[in-house]
């Protein structure tokens, strides 16, 4: 069957098997940052954004995303520059083997869009489906707190003196 | 995976496609696809409900809310009347899996999956929810679920919606005990609803998960509690009754003995709750 969907703003129009899973399709299209790991919806390493919300691509049929938008980690670095979340992860030493990191970024970006000022507890809760076997999560939580602050500061840069106009 | 995947656009198409032998319904797929993956079920066809507009709705009526079959946990948690009228259900589904699971999984899937550990299901038992089936019948959730993984859903039919009657409770409580804090299946879970004034109970409901073949409402405990003062003595009596009534099994998550003690002890959270009314 034929499906059409966007990945990181790029349109794909492809033939798929009806029972094909999104993780398989994405990897076939070259998005290898999406990891095929536990395959039982437990580890979170295959997380992608579906219309802005994190989902598990290992438990999502490609046929079901026809007409929708997918984002993988590649969507968040613009012209080779890392996003605030990615930079903070590097700076806080939150990346060791790196296997879980693409999906972690995808999930953390969704969290900060929903909730620009999360508490550490809210971060832990939101990321509870993204397992990491290296870091123990502390450095990752710190990194996301830091990224949230960076994003808030850059968003609040005044865009001209609107106050005087009104 | 060796099966045909169908995505009907209307309920009529859904019904036709479901009538073929070997067809399985799927909404979020968070239970179904895991079972397919581990080889527990081998479908010939998987029929998805997600494109059917008439199953995707939320209604806030005077005396009830109605949740359409394809509403995800995340959509439900964003629905303001839920947290206002049914904070117990909100608390229960907040513990389901992770955001990734809640963005796809549904309450209807939780009901039809009929696990004694279903967190949404436990809240629905307490709230006297009713299940609307495609043949037009509306069945109390306690009758709909007939055993572990078993329901009274006639073959070829599907669930259209869940109805939850509104009622004012003074106190609501939900707790799940698992082997870890997140992404956990309960070793035991408990929920209660209390209507009370000056610590005197007017109405009481209590249910346990993961301690019997289905979620368990303890009706005689509920009767016993009526008119009682919430204090330590009361909690001791309830705790004893609970210990005698739950009948858990040994499994990978915990022993039957541990579960019994756990259920009895969870009741003591109520002492604090009593101060709220
Ligand atoms: C990692 C992980 C963590 C989880 N954590 C929890 C948890 O903490 N607590 C908990 O309670 N559950 C948990 N679950 C289980 C699961 O997410 C829920 O039971 C979910 O609510 C199922 O909904 P779904 O839409 O994905 O159902 P599906 O998988 O699509 O379907 C489940 C069952 O319902 C049937 N069905 C689906 N739609 C209909 C319909 N409209 N009419 C009739 N039958 C239908 C299917 O045929 C299937 O038998 C977890 C699952 C995973 C993978």
Length reported for chain A: 166
Tell me, using a 6 A CB cutoff, whether residue B235 lines ligand 1.
Answer: no
Residues A132 and A116 in one domain: yes
User: Could you list the residue range(s) of the whole structural domain that residue B117 is in?
Assistant: 53-165
Q: Which of A36, A60, A75 is the last residue of a domain?
A: A75
Predicted pLDDT at A98: 95
Tell me, using a 6 A CB cutoff, whether residue B112 lines ligand 1.
Answer: yes
Tell me, using a 6 A CB cutoff, whether residue B17 lines ligand 1.
Answer: no
Residue A164, domain member (yes or no): no
Residues A122 and A66 in one domain: no
Predicted pLDDT at B271: 82
Would the CB atoms of B98 and A44 count as touching at under 8 Å? yes
Q: Which of B165, B191, B207 is the last residue of a domain?
A: B165
Residues A101 and A32 in one domain: no
Determine the Cα–Cα distance for residues A145 and A117; give it in Å rounded to an integer.
8
Q: Which of A75, A95, A118 is the last residue of a domain?
A: A75
Predicted pLDDT at A46: 98
Residues A11 and A54 in one domain: yes
Q: Which of B142, B165, B188 is the last residue of a domain?
A: B165
Distances (CA, A) of A36 to A21, A74, B133: 11, 17, 37
Site of tokens 């209590």: B206
Determine the Cα–Cα distance for residues A111 and A117; give it in Å rounded to an integer.
9
**Mutate: best of A22, A128, A136, A137, partner B, most B CBs <10 A:** A128
- Count of structural domains, chain A: 2
Tell me, using a 6 A CB cutoff, whether residue B27 lines ligand 1.
Answer: yes
What does the block give as tokens for A82?
């890392």
Determine the Cα–Cα distance for residues A18 and B1; give it in Å rounded to an integer.
9
Determine the Cα–Cα distance for residues B275 and B277; give it in Å rounded to an integer.
6
Q: Which of A27, A54, A75 is the last residue of a domain?
A: A75
CATH of the domain at B196: 3.30.390.50
What does the block give as tokens for B57?
């709705």
Determine the Cα–Cα distance for residues A87 and A143; give it in Å rounded to an integer.
8
CATH of the domain at A55: 3.10.20.30
Residues A9 and A62 in one domain: yes
> Residues of chain B whose pLDDT is less than 50?
none
Residue A165, domain member (yes or no): no
- Give nearest CA residue, ligand 1 atom 18: B110
Predicted pLDDT at A33: 97
Residues A37 and A71 in one domain: yes
Residue B66, H or E segment: strand B64-68
Count of beta carbons in the 10 Å neighbourhood of residue A96: 14
User: Could you list the residue range(s) of the whole structural domain that residue A144 is in?
Assistant: 77-157
Residues B43 and B73 in one domain: no
Would the CB atoms of B29 and A59 count as touching at under 8 Å? yes
Residues B130 and B208 in one domain: no
CATH of the domain at A98: 1.10.150.120
Q: Nearest CA to B175 among B79, B273, B255?
A: B273
Determine the Cα–Cα distance for residues A127 and A104; give it in Å rounded to an integer.
8
Residues A53 and A19 in one domain: yes
Contact indicator for B272, B173 with CB cutoff of 8 Å:
no
Residue A158's Cα: distance from chain center in Å? 28
User: Across the strands, what pairs with B193?
Assistant: B172, B205
Question: Candidates B29, B44, B68, B97: which one to mutate for ligand 1, based on the most atoms within 8 Å of Cβ?
Answer: B97
Residues A120 and A134 in one domain: yes
Residues A110 and A125 in one domain: yes
ipTM comes to 0.88
Residues A83 and A134 in one domain: yes
Determine the Cα–Cα distance for residues B249 and B210; give it in Å rounded to an integer.
9
- Count of structural domains, chain B: 3
Predicted pLDDT at A157: 59
Predicted pLDDT at B1: 62
Eight-state DSSP code of residue B164:
E
Q: With left for phi above 0 and alpha for psi between -120 and 50, is residue B171 left, alpha or beta?
A: beta
Average pLDDT per 10 consecutive residues for chain A, totaling 166 residues = 96 92 96 94 95 96 94 94 96 95 98 97 95 93 97 73 42
Contact indicator for B144, B214 with CB cutoff of 8 Å:
no
Count of beta carbons in the 10 Å neighbourhood of residue B127: 28
Residue A162, domain member (yes or no): no
Residue A46, domain member (yes or no): yes
**Mutate: best of A1, A3, A16, A19, partner B, most B CBs <10 A:** A19
Predicted pLDDT at A164: 41
Q: Which of B132, B165, B198 is the last residue of a domain?
A: B165
Residues B19 and B123 in one domain: no
């Amino acid at each position: 069957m034929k499906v059409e969907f966007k990945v990181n703003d790029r349109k794909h129009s492809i033939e798929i098997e009806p029972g094909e899973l999104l993780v398989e399709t994405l990897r076939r299209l070259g998005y290898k940052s999406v990891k095929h790991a536990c395959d039982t919806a437990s580890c979170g390493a295959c997380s992608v954004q579906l219309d802005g919300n994190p989902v598990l691509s290992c438990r999502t049929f490609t046929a079901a995303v026809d007409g929708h938008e997918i984002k993988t980690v590649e969507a968040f670095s613009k012209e080779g520059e890392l996003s605030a979340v990615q930079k903070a992860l590097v700076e806080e030493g939150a990346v060791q083997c790196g296997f879980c990191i693409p999906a972690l970024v995808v999930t953390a970006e969704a969290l900060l869009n929903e909730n620009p000022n999360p508490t550490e507890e809210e971060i832990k809760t939101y990321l509870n489906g993204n397992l990491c076997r290296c870091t123990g999560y502390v450095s990752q939580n710190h990194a996301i707190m830091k990224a949230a602050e960076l994003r808030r500061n850059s968003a609040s840069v005044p865009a001209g003196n609107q106050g005087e106009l009104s | 995976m060796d099966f045909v995947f169908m995505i009907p656009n209307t309920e009529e198409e859904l019904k036709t496609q479901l009538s073929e032998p070997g067809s399985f319904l799927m909404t979020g797929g968070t239970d179904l696809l895991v079972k397919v993956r581990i080889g527990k079920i081998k479908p010939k066809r998987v029929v998805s409900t997600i494109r059917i507009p008439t199953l995707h709705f939320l209604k806030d009526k005077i005396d009830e809310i109605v949740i359409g079959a394809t509403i995800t946990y995340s959509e439900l948690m964003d629905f303001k009347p839920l947290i206002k009228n049914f904070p117990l259900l909100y608390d229960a589904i907040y513990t389901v899996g992770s955001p990734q699971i809640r963005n796809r999984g549904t309450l209807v899937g939780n009901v039809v999956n009929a696990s004694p550990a279903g967190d949404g299901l436990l809240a629905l038992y307490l709230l006297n929810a009713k299940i609307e089936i495609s043949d037009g019948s509306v069945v109390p959730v306690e009758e709909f679920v007939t055993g572990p993984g078993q329901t009274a859903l006639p073959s070829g039919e599907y669930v259209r919606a869940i109805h939850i009657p509104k009622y004012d409770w003074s106190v609501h409580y939900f707790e799940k005990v698992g082997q870890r804090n997140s992404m956990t299946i309960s070793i035991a879970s408990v929920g209660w609803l209390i209507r009370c004034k000056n610590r005197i109970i007017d109405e009481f409901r209590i249910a346990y998960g993961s301690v019997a073949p289905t979620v368990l409402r303890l009706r005689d405990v509920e009767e016993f509690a009526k008119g009682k003062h919430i204090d330590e003595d009361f909690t001791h009596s309830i705790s004893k009754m609970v210990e005698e009534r739950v009948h858990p099994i040994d499994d990978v998550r915990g022993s039957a003995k541990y579960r019994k003690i756990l259920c009895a002890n969870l009741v003591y959270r109520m002492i604090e709750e009593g101060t709220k009314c």
